[in-house]
């Protein structure tokens, strides 16, 4: 799924869809927000080119028109990199 993404626009669209709660990442009952599924997949891909592509896609969402998407993207990086 993430490994098959080709290009920045496709990665951004994938991240946006999943940060909105759609997409095919497979939310768990324990997930409180859509970003939880994105973080879980990112952790599984840690250290790979696919993880970097996913981060780039989420970074593109930091300027999305939808405030919910922007908030989810901000939460992704806050959780990923911790307070600081």
Rounded mean pLDDT, 24-34: 80
Confidence (pLDDT) at 4:
65
Please report, for the chain, the start and end positions of each structural domain, with discontinuous segments joined by +. 8-81
pLDDT in tens, 42-63: 999 999 998 999 999 999 999 9
**Alpha-carbon distance values, 77 to 4, 55, 57, 60 (Å):** 23, 9, 12, 12
Region of poorest pLDDT, from 20-24, 51-55, 75-79: 20-24
Length of the chain: 84
Q: How far apart are CA 46 and CA 64, in angstroms?
A: 25
- Residue 45: CB atoms within 10 A of its CB come to 17
Comparing C-alpha atoms, which of 32, 75, 33, 5 is closest to residue 56?
A: 5
The two tokens of residue 4 are: 């098959």
């Amino acid at each position: 799924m993430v490994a098959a993404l080709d290009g920045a626009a496709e990665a951004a669209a994938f991240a946006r869809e999943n940060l909105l709660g759609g997409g095919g990442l497979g939310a768990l009952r324990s997930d409180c927000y859509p970003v939880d599924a994105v973080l879980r997949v990112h952790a599984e891909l840690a250290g790979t080119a696919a993880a970097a592509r996913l981060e780039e896609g989420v970074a593109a969402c930091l300027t999305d028109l939808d405030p919910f998407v922007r908030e989810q993207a901000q939460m992704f990086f806050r959780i990923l990199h911790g307070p600081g």
